[in-house]
Structure 1
Amino acid sequence: MTDTSYQQAYQQELRAAAAHLGRRRFLTVTGAAAALAFATNLPGSAQAAEADARKTITADPFTLGVASGDPQPGSVILWTRLAPSPYEPGNGLPNARIEVGWEIAHDSRFTRIARRGTATAHPEFNHTVHVEAANLGSDRVYYYRFRAGKWISPAGRTRTAPAPGARPTDVKLAAVSCQAYHDGYFTAYKHLAAEDLDVVFHLGDYLYEYAVNAAGGARAYTDRTLPAIFNRETVTLEDYRLRYALYKSDPDLRAAHAAHPFVVTWDDHETENNYADDIPENDVPPEEFLIRRAAAYRAYWENQPLRRPQQPSGPDMQLYRRLQFGTLAQFDILDTRQYRSDQAYGDGWDAPGPESDDPSRTLTGATQERWLIDGWRASDALWNVVPQQVVFSRRRSDATDAFKVSMDAWDGYAASRERVLAGAEAAGVDNLVVLTGDVHVSYALDIKRDADNPNSRTAGAEFVATSISSGKDGADKPANWDTFMAANPHMKWYNGRRGYTKITLGRDAARADYRTVSAVTTPGAPVTTAASFVTEAGNPGLKPA
């Protein structure tokens, strides 16, 4: 695409976005989303009284563990949620503010305290706590914990990012996605917690909106019964808050959060399957869906280690953001749900055509797209990494001319992908890495500059992380394995087991180890490295390690 045609396509997308923004403002101001009044249900406006934690909290309030996230050179976010009764609306706490102490230390015994302070668990935020622990050292391991009344939380371990201009020899990370509680145990997280990592990227579908029955679905509990409140689809704010409580009560998920800082982004199921911007999966009015989206976004922020700029305003929340690890890596975390055009041809798999190829279509929205490309232009990092949700590379359903592609992935937004690749090329990005979730399988893919030409230049590498549990046990070779491998020569690996991807970014190469477990419908499965690939710095193209 020439620079002139790129600008024309971009301007067309801007015009479409402006028209859409006008419609969004109308819906937000005049529709039921305004009546929800999230903007007024904030601490300070409700005038909640302050409760004495020693008298109010009579049972362990740290049932959902602790977490940290979004590491920067001198700070990290610390999170917890007070919930002595996590499966009850309101967490078993009064509608009152509760003071929570926190401390972060250089050692796991907390003999050398680096920083300490107090934070307020507001009832308006479901008694969640977000602490920005600042004035810390760069590229250092820390330990943290909370106190409420006489209760002390489990300790968490976290790490800050390297200083600007620093030249770390490597960054060790993991990519995870898709953890349907009702599809099985989070065994992969138990193994992830024991890995030597600097940071974990969660690429979406942290929870699922679907009902979970009394036996926990495929977990088939015989020793306990889940409350009936989970056996319904999440729609209201209370529904989403309770569903996060169910997920975060899982001991393996709690262990992973306590072991490593997480950087999170969502996909669809945190709100509703395959929604696109303000267009729901089902045929309900947009203003009604925006109420649900506002509830989902608020619960997401409340229950994740996210900074204040990510706090939502009604049905809107800026989740895309940038993290830098010295000169080694820049991470541009995307949101491919909130701003996207509706899926072409009614969603699903279909043949590419004029609708999916329309240059005005976008997966990221014009503002986020420009932010991404401008960030690449300013980057001095060796590796430019894009953690995001849906498969970026071309995936043909078969090797014939009548192939179909997924309209929910970048294949359904061909012009949007072309603008991103053209932007990377113009910015001189030599070492592009895309991290992807969504599809419940592992792929290792060469990103081709021309998606329709397997002989075109390789522009980078895409590592698709399989699910933690979604899809149940899976198989090493799914039913379409032979067809997919033949139809997509840039696909170097395809596996259908559960697990995560461990990635090491070094000065000379990036290495991906695909870690899988044999089962999730029964607990305790061991983890193995199913395959490993490397891509050399300055010489993109995946090779077996």
Structure 2
Amino acid sequence: MPESNVRRRTVLATGAAGPAFAGTALGAGASYADRPDHTLFQHGVASGDPKPRRVVLWTRVTPTTQATPGSGKGPQVTVTWQVAKDATLGKVVREGTFVTSASRDHTVKVDATRLEPETWYYYRFLVGKHSSPVGRTRTAPARGATPANLRFGVVSCANLQAGWFAAYRHLAARDDLHAVLHLGDYLYEYGGEGSYAMGRENKRIRAHVPDREMVSLADYRQRHAQYKSDPDLRALHAKAPFIVTWDDHEVTNDQWRDGAENHQPDEGDYLVRRARAHRAYDEWMPVRLDDTARLGDGTRLFRRLRFGKLAELSMLDLRTYRDEQVHTKAPSPVPALEAEVSNPDRTILGAAQLAWLKDSLLPGRPQWKIVGNPVMVAPVSFAQLPTELVDPVNDVTGILPRDGAPYNVDQWDGYTDDRREIFTHIRDHGMRDVVFLTGDIHSAWACDLPFDLATYPLGQSAGVEFVSTSVTSNNLKDITGAPARTASLAVEATIMANNRHIKYLNFDDHGYSVFDLTPARAQMDYYVISDRADARATASWTASWATMSGTNKVHAVDQPVEGR
């Protein structure tokens, strides 16, 4: 390192700033607020998409008091980023500069490269005398490595209006997570009095900013900024890298390829709205779109991340390419016999992503094939008939979907031909150790994935699915107003009686999960928070389910991983 760089880092560590550094840090013509209460890094730091020798680093700069998110105001800023192996950043191993401006909402997203595999790093950002909080991140194991385990926090469905993010706080308090998987609905589009919030009365624990449904680019930017102003989410982002995918609410409810349930004609062109949402997501999330950290080079979110020989994680996008959801003849949860869900011309993945996922599920890949799955893949249905009877019945009536009567056609149950093609591919290639990790439905599940639902458990399973509950979004007890573990018990029992592959179901609790992977088994530990309306809510372990390598079936475990 040149002597000037060493001297600069020494000055920064003491909190002072010499004239030479100030001159290199400020963009030309920039004028920063010098008020003592002005903080440049108001939205924390984050990292994501770890690879063996690189990781994405993120922050947002507020260079003046007028340069608020979505404002389009503020000067160009030159930001320095640094990576070190120690928390004090006394020995910087990688650094660089990044120029940001209002054109990208003053966000900073860089790919820190030439790092060592399977290594903890610390990082920060600097503008003049101002330093961001220090974040911690970790690179993935080398391609040929055989790690003893991987451990991920698993979360989804965090509606800020519906409660506090205590689940994030409890995950941030752990020191054993290699990464956090966020499986969708990182934020919600709703806003305004009476919009989707907590319980049947839609009580707003916190009001969204802006206080209206987000439609414009400025709206999406402001909403991302509000979520990253939450101290619990900021703490978790600073503690471990995130691996994310989107579901529907990052744009708007029940979106599909050309529209959405929550998009009306007076809100403009849907594809324009989606493009705005995707741009804000690209700006504000530590994620690679089209496999790069660059802004605006594409919107392809489905991607693979490899963790040595132990696991490969395939993150899906189940909104951008899907056909419109089937309009059922009766409202959920009443089952609706709807043959259209099995139409082979309808897709949830799209042709390119379907081929890509099949390629992820082939021999020669790492041992565990993990699929980050925004909506539930396991069939949940009623009135099953054996497979060999479905076609004869449909010859007469044309009313039966091949996997029975689904209760939620927004899931893979509404696109059963894609699911059948994936499961058949798994069977034809003799694949084992396939695990779907899922969010979306505000409840916790552990399931086998039967090739033939009607005859299961006599038949075989394509893999297993673990579903993590919501951070705050309403579940069954919240919607019915019934006390926890009362009315929901009958619903859970009915679903499991009609679906023998479903081994665990909890419709009542909010929280998070921890997924631990070893060569011998994959285990999901389920944690619940005491009260989403309480910012200081406690958390407790409630259940654990696992699958042994080679079995493709789940079983109950009597304690979480860290209890061993």
TM range (shorter): 0.7 to 0.9
Counterpart Cα distance in 1 of 2:30 and 2:429: 54
Q: Does 1:525 align with 2:537?
A: yes
Question: C-alpha displacement at 1:85, in angstroms?
Answer: 7.7
1:305 aligns to what? 286
Structure 1 residues 316-465: aligned runs within 5 Å = 317-345=299-327, 349=332, 350-377=335-362, 379-396=364-381, 403-455=405-457, 456-465=459-468
Counterpart Cα distance in 2 of 1:543 and 1:308: 36
8 A contact 1:514–1:532 mirrored in 2: yes
- The 3-state SS of whatever aligns with 2:290 is helix
Q: State which of 157, 173, 190 in structure 2 corresponds to 1:178.
A: 157
1:468 aligns to what? 471
Q: State which of 494, 504, 528 in structure 2 corresponds to 1:516.
A: 528
Once the two structures are overlaid, the 10-residue window that deviates more, 412-421 or 84-93, is 84-93
Counterpart Cα distance in 2 of 1:213 and 1:88: 27
1:15 aligns to what? none
Amino acid at match of 1:253: L
Provide the alpha-carbon RMSD of the alignment.
Answer: 2.9
Q: Does 1:232 align with 2:212?
A: yes
1:245 aligns to what? 225
Counterpart Cα distance in 2 of 1:539 and 1:462: 13
Question: C-alpha displacement at 1:285, in angstroms?
Answer: 9.2
Structure 1 residues 58-97: aligned runs within 5 Å = 58=35, 59-83=38-62, 89-90=68-69, 94-97=73-76
Counterpart Cα distance in 2 of 1:252 and 1:68: 15
Once the two structures are overlaid, the 10-residue window that deviates more, 513-522 or 233-242, is 513-522
8 A contact 1:430–1:459 mirrored in 2: yes
1:483 aligns to what? 494
2:255 aligns to what? 275
Once the two structures are overlaid, the 10-residue window that deviates more, 351-360 or 58-67, is 351-360
8 A contact 1:139–1:160 mirrored in 2: yes
Question: C-alpha displacement at 1:313, in angstroms?
Answer: 5.5
1:214–1:238 Cα change, 3 Å: farther
- The 3-state SS of whatever aligns with 2:361 is helix
Once the two structures are overlaid, the 10-residue window that deviates more, 442-451 or 138-147, is 442-451
Counterpart Cα distance in 2 of 1:414 and 1:148: 52
Counterpart Cα distance in 1 of 2:280 and 2:383: 40
8 A contact 2:342–2:415 mirrored in 1: yes
1:23 aligns to what? none
1:312–1:428 Cα change, 3 Å: farther
Amino acid at match of 2:124: R
Structure 1: segments with no counterpart, 5+ residues: 1-48
Once the two structures are overlaid, the 10-residue window that deviates more, 49-58 or 119-128, is 49-58
- The 3-state SS of whatever aligns with 1:119 is strand
1:478–1:82 Cα change, 3 Å: farther
Amino acid at match of 1:339: Y
Question: C-alpha displacement at 1:377, in angstroms?
Answer: 2.4
8 A contact 2:283–2:295 mirrored in 1: no
Once the two structures are overlaid, the 10-residue window that deviates more, 443-452 or 364-373, is 443-452
Amino acid at match of 2:274: R
Q: Does 1:55 align with 2:32?
A: yes
1:295 aligns to what? 276
Structure 1 residues 137-176: aligned runs within 5 Å = 137-176=116-155
Counterpart Cα distance in 2 of 1:89 and 1:235: 18
8 A contact 1:277–1:338 mirrored in 2: yes
1:213–1:514 Cα change, 3 Å: same
1:396–1:123 Cα change, 3 Å: same
Question: C-alpha displacement at 1:119, in angstroms?
Answer: 0.9
- The 3-state SS of whatever aligns with 1:541 is coil
Counterpart Cα distance in 1 of 2:339 and 2:78: 57
1:541–1:287 Cα change, 3 Å: same
1:249–1:90 Cα change, 3 Å: closer
Counterpart Cα distance in 1 of 2:276 and 2:112: 27
1:35 aligns to what? none
1:287–1:90 Cα change, 3 Å: closer
Counterpart Cα distance in 1 of 2:384 and 2:222: 45
Counterpart Cα distance in 2 of 1:125 and 1:440: 33
1:10 aligns to what? none
Question: C-alpha displacement at 1:61, in angstroms?
Answer: 1.7
Counterpart Cα distance in 2 of 1:232 and 1:422: 45
**Runs of 4+ with deviation above 6 angstroms:** 84-88, 219-222, 398-402
TM score, norm. by length of structure 2: 0.81
- The 3-state SS of whatever aligns with 1:355 is helix
Amino acid at match of 1:500: Y
Note the alpha carbon deviations across 1:270-309, whole angstroms, 9 max, x for none.
0010011112214539981011101111011111002363
- The 3-state SS of whatever aligns with 1:230 is coil
8 A contact 1:74–1:134 mirrored in 2: yes
1:123–1:444 Cα change, 3 Å: same
Once the two structures are overlaid, the 10-residue window that deviates more, 91-100 or 270-279, is 91-100
- The 3-state SS of whatever aligns with 1:492 is strand
Amino acid at match of 2:493: D
Note the alpha carbon deviations across 1:54-113, whole angstroms, 9 max, x for none.
635651121111100000000000000113689975467844321111111101111221
Once the two structures are overlaid, the 10-residue window that deviates more, 58-67 or 412-421, is 58-67
1:109–1:150 Cα change, 3 Å: same
Once the two structures are overlaid, the 10-residue window that deviates more, 331-340 or 492-501, is 492-501
8 A contact 2:472–2:532 mirrored in 1: yes
Counterpart Cα distance in 1 of 2:204 and 2:264: 35
Between the two proteins, what is the percent identity of the paired residues?
Answer: 38
Q: Does 1:112 align with 2:112?
A: no
Counterpart Cα distance in 2 of 1:530 and 1:440: 16
- The 3-state SS of whatever aligns with 1:80 is strand
Structure 1 residues 128-143: aligned runs within 5 Å = 128-143=107-122
8 A contact 1:376–1:424 mirrored in 2: yes
